[in-house]
Chain A
Amino acid sequence: MNELIFFVNKVLISGATLGSVYALGAVGVTLIFGILRFAHFAHGDMMTLGAFVAFMLVAVFQSLGIQTPLPTGFIVLPFAMAITAGLALGIDRGFYQPLRAKGVKTVTLLIASVGVTLMMQGVIRLFAGTGTRSFFENETKDLYRFKLPIEGVRRSINFSEPQILVIVTTVIAVIALHFFLTRSRLGKGMRAMADNPSLAQVSGINTAAVVRATWIIAGSLAAMAGTLLALDVILKPDLAFNILLPIFAAAVVGGLGHSYGAIAGGFLIGFAETMSVFNWAVLLRPFKAGLPDWLPNDLSIVPSEYKLTVAFVILVLVLLVRPQGIFKGAST
């Protein structure tokens, strides 16, 4: 039983947290792909940028002496999202829109996003340096323990405060996004443009407004994902680069351009990662007496140094078997 709780803590809770962050990032990637038809390589850095914006806002709040019951990094989230959305709009206006106006191929936009990612990395490190930071330098990270009322159970199910916030916020964001895409006029316009851009134009849909809405949503979700990830783990400038691959894998698994697929893909990759590095031998410990000797102590599927491989292998499998994504047809 203790081993099972260890499994819940290490795989289910961590997987849900990681999956939430991936889902938020992947939705942004997939929306941008749906509307503008290119894989936005700067998305990882947009997340990092959002997290750093939040970090600076926290510094401002704390210097003003504002005390909050929840972590300040979470309280400033709406402001960080708004600022990052504004930055995303500015980046589009400055670097992508002029290229679109020239009618370039979408792969040129892809290269431009590589250029943008470098610029963002440079700016972030220029101002923030290369060191790591924590949102909890002046606050405590609360840990919630849930004891199960079962005889002989010593371990408790542990949630950290950021983990709860990540999961709850993601659920709220996903529901809000769902209503936006299915109920609001602009949201339906976004779906229409992703579905058939020329018909959307012919219908009189203001495509420029749809593009702006896309950047606002993608930028604010990126800020949300980056800040929540930094709250849960740590804030560092190369946060983004390690997360880019899982996010793209999630978006591809869900079918590029399909928002619901991206969310499912995010959780799939999150759980796959935590399950792959989990040492399954732990679950066998209670039966140790009956097990053969040759069984090694470490039964994780991949060593944790190779965690990145998990997302990649899933990505490759999907590209081989169903490049249009495994959820295509099941959702819009």
Chain B
Amino acid sequence: MIRRDAILFAGLGVLILALAVWLKVPTTIQLLVTASAYALIALGLNVQWGYAGLFNVGVMGFLMVGGASVVFVSYPLNDAFWSSDGPFMLLKAIIAAIAGGLLIWGVTRIPKTGSLKKVRGFLLVVAWAVAYVVYRSQIDPAAVLIEEKAGFVGGLGLHPLFGWAAGGVMAGIIAYVIGKICLGLRSDYLAIATIGISEIIRALIKNMDWLTRGTLTVSPIPWPTPLPADIAAAGMDDATMSVILARSGFLAVTVILIAVIFFFLQRAYNGPWGRMMRAIRDNHVAAGAIGKNVTKRELEIFVLGAILMGIGGAILATYVQILDPSGYQPINHTFIVWVMIIVGGAGNNWGALFGAVFIYIVWTISEPASLVLFSMISDLSEGAGIGAIPDIESRALQMRVFVLGLVITFALRYAPQGMIPERVRTDD
């Protein structure tokens, strides 16, 4: 690392210490936990964009998948569901889905040449339609029954770490499908497709009440580490101290996770695999010409990035202990991550890490700060006889969105490399 980077990280440390004094320690740890989740997400996006130049504007979707996965895997068992007909009907729906999938698969096996090639496309459409109708005919009554008898399916009651892993896996599967379709086309198509899938995931999680309780929200999601209440029950008398201990425990888990992932990402980046990825990013055609399977490599990296995002999303939901689909907004969950890596330095993991923590802190304290600023302007305008600004809280919040956009456009123009730019080692 170069001296400038060390100074930047030291500055970040000082900022965190100042926050600890200003906002008190428990709030600061809370901020750091969330920032660490975002750091993981930013690393995921950095892998996709910084390593391979894949433009993903559907980060929010992957975070929601992670959140929903941790609910399904780690929320306690719902006895009302398991004692109803629900599991049986769901099983039927799953069998219907598999049967439909097999039907579609079977049709795709029809060779593209030969006597059946003309009807192949038509049969494929029919197969999809049949599969869809069969699946809907099973899932719809199952959904109605589950919502009536049990509310929702509940979870599997496993340890949250399994939930996080499941979040990564699910996000990876979705990324695989999207990548399979869009990679190899212009990056604009990937951008459109990812923004689409993230909106659809939001619609699904919001409306599939039988699985996620939708807008009714699910809580509390268990923590991987003891909750403040557990620590208090174990004999800690000081309430603040038990909060600090519990949050620190959670933070320790996320920090270790990031450290491990970061270590492997750095090694991969500086190794032959990283060189190949940079070659592909910087010159598709040439990389293809020397025999690299460009699209396949890009698919790998797209899935890898999505896995990190899924885990990060699972951590976010776990920490706040609630899955609230209405709480997910593209601004807070997609575009802020973009700002993190653009400002931090795309292509450099240290940059992504720095950007994530720094931008998250700025974003969080900008809420009170913009309110203060707007109150001052409001006082001024009132003093000048124009009158106070109405709805001052919501307007102040919107100003942050504006600033976020401004930061992106200005960073692209004046500091496209970011604060900790990509450095390619050439002397090894």
- CB within 8 Å of B: which residues of A? 33, 38-39, 41, 95, 98-99, 102, 104, 106-108, 110-112, 114-123, 125-126, 129-130, 241-242, 244-245, 248-249, 252, 256, 296, 303, 305-306, 308-309, 311-312, 315-316, 319-320, 323
A108 and B409 CA atoms in complex are apart in Å by: 10
Contact between B188 and A39 (Cβ–Cβ < 8 Å)? yes
With most chain B CB atoms within 10 A of its CB, the pick from A95, A111, A118, A303 is: A118
Contact between B200 and A99 (Cβ–Cβ < 8 Å)? no
A315 and B330 CA atoms in complex are apart in Å by: 20
Contact between A256 and B188 (Cβ–Cβ < 8 Å)? yes
How many A-B residue pairs lie within 8 Å, measured between CB atoms? 138
Cβ-closest 9 pairs across A and B: A122-B402, A118-B405, A115-B408, A119-B405, A122-B401, A39-B188, A125-B398, A115-B409, A312-B196
Closest to A98 in B: B413
Q: Which residues of A contact B185 (CB under 8 A)?
A: 319, 323
For this complex, 21 residue pairs linking A to B, each with C-beta atoms less than 8 Å apart, are A39-B188, A39-B191, A41-B191, A111-B412, A114-B335, A114-B408, A116-B405, A116-B409, A117-B405, A118-B335, A119-B402, A119-B409, A121-B402, A122-B402, A122-B405, A126-B398, A245-B199, A252-B192, A308-B199, A312-B193, A320-B181
A305 and B209 CA atoms in complex are apart in Å by: 12
Give the size of the chain B interface in residues (CB under 8 angstroms).
45
Q: Which of B189, B338, B406 contacts A319 (CB 8 A)?
A: B189
B262 at the interface (CB under 8 A from A): no
Contact between A33 and B412 (Cβ–Cβ < 8 Å)? no
Contact between A95 and B409 (Cβ–Cβ < 8 Å)? yes
Rounded to whole Å, the gap between the CB of A223 and the closest CB of chain B is 20
Contact between B401 and A112 (Cβ–Cβ < 8 Å)? no
**Contact bitstring B322-338, A, C-beta under 8 A = 1, else 0:** 00000000110001001
B400 at the interface (CB under 8 A from A): yes
Q: Which residues of B contact A33 (CB under 8 A)?
A: 188
B41 at the interface (CB under 8 A from A): no
A249 and B197 CA atoms in complex are apart in Å by: 13
A107 and B409 in contact, given A118-B401, A122-B400, A248-B192 (Cβ under 8 angstroms): no
A129 and B394 in contact, given A38-B188, A118-B335 (Cβ under 8 angstroms): yes
Closest to A320 in B: B181
**Contact bitstring B176-194, A, C-beta under 8 A = 1, else 0:** 0000011001011101110
Rounded to whole Å, the gap between the CB of A252 and the closest CB of chain B is 7
A112 and B189 in contact, given A129-B395, A312-B196 (Cβ under 8 angstroms): no
Contact between B408 and A112 (Cβ–Cβ < 8 Å)? yes
A89 and B398 CA atoms in complex are apart in Å by: 24
Q: Which of B53, B195, B395, B404 contacts A118 (CB 8 A)?
A: B404
Contact between A110 and B335 (Cβ–Cβ < 8 Å)? no
A242 and B408 CA atoms in complex are apart in Å by: 22
B102 at the interface (CB under 8 A from A): no
A33 and B192 CA atoms in complex are apart in Å by: 13
Rounded to whole Å, the gap between the CB of A151 and the closest CB of chain B is 37
Rounded to whole Å, the gap between the CB of A194 and the closest CB of chain B is 15
Contact between B408 and A111 (Cβ–Cβ < 8 Å)? yes
Contact between B405 and A306 (Cβ–Cβ < 8 Å)? no
Q: Which residues of A contact B376 (CB under 8 A)?
A: none
Q: Which residues of A contact B189 (CB under 8 A)?
A: 252, 319, 323
Contact between B181 and A308 (Cβ–Cβ < 8 Å)? no
Q: Which residues of B contact A323 (CB under 8 A)?
A: 185, 189
Rounded to whole Å, the gap between the CB of A322 and the closest CB of chain B is 11
Given A99-B413, A121-B401, A245-B195, 12 more A-B residue pairs with CB atoms under 8 Å apart are: A33-B188, A110-B191, A117-B405, A122-B398, A125-B395, A125-B398, A126-B398, A130-B398, A245-B199, A305-B206, A305-B207, A308-B203
B399 at the interface (CB under 8 A from A): yes
Q: Which residues of B contact A104 (CB under 8 A)?
A: 412, 416
B403 at the interface (CB under 8 A from A): yes
Q: Which residues of B contact A107 (CB under 8 A)?
A: 53, 55, 187-188
B35 at the interface (CB under 8 A from A): no
A320 and B181 CA atoms in complex are apart in Å by: 6
Contact between A312 and B398 (Cβ–Cβ < 8 Å)? no
Closest to B197 in A: A312
Q: Which residues of B contact A115 (CB under 8 A)?
A: 404-409, 412
Contact between B400 and A99 (Cβ–Cβ < 8 Å)? no
Closest to B189 in A: A319
Q: Which residues of A contact B416 (CB under 8 A)?
A: 104, 108
B42 at the interface (CB under 8 A from A): no
Rounded to whole Å, the gap between the CB of A48 and the closest CB of chain B is 13
A308 and B198 CA atoms in complex are apart in Å by: 11
A306 and B399 CA atoms in complex are apart in Å by: 31
Q: Which residues of B contact A98 (CB under 8 A)?
A: 413
- Would you list which residues of chain B between 151 and 203 have a CB under 8 Å from chain A? 181-182, 185, 187-189, 191-193, 195-197, 199-200, 203
Rounded to whole Å, the gap between the CB of A108 and the closest CB of chain B is 6
Q: Which of B195, B401, B412 contacts A244 (CB 8 A)?
A: B195
Contact between A316 and B193 (Cβ–Cβ < 8 Å)? yes
Contact between A316 and B408 (Cβ–Cβ < 8 Å)? no
- Would you list which residues of chain B between 39 and 61 have a CB under 8 Å from chain A? 53, 55, 57
Rounded to whole Å, the gap between the CB of B175 and the closest CB of chain A is 14
A297 and B395 CA atoms in complex are apart in Å by: 45
Q: Which residues of B contact A108 (CB under 8 A)?
A: 412, 416
A329 and B257 CA atoms in complex are apart in Å by: 53
Contact between B412 and A309 (Cβ–Cβ < 8 Å)? no
Q: Which residues of B contact A112 (CB under 8 A)?
A: 408-409, 412
A98 and B53 CA atoms in complex are apart in Å by: 22
Contact between A319 and B193 (Cβ–Cβ < 8 Å)? yes
Q: Which residues of B contact A123 (CB under 8 A)?
A: 402
B391 at the interface (CB under 8 A from A): yes
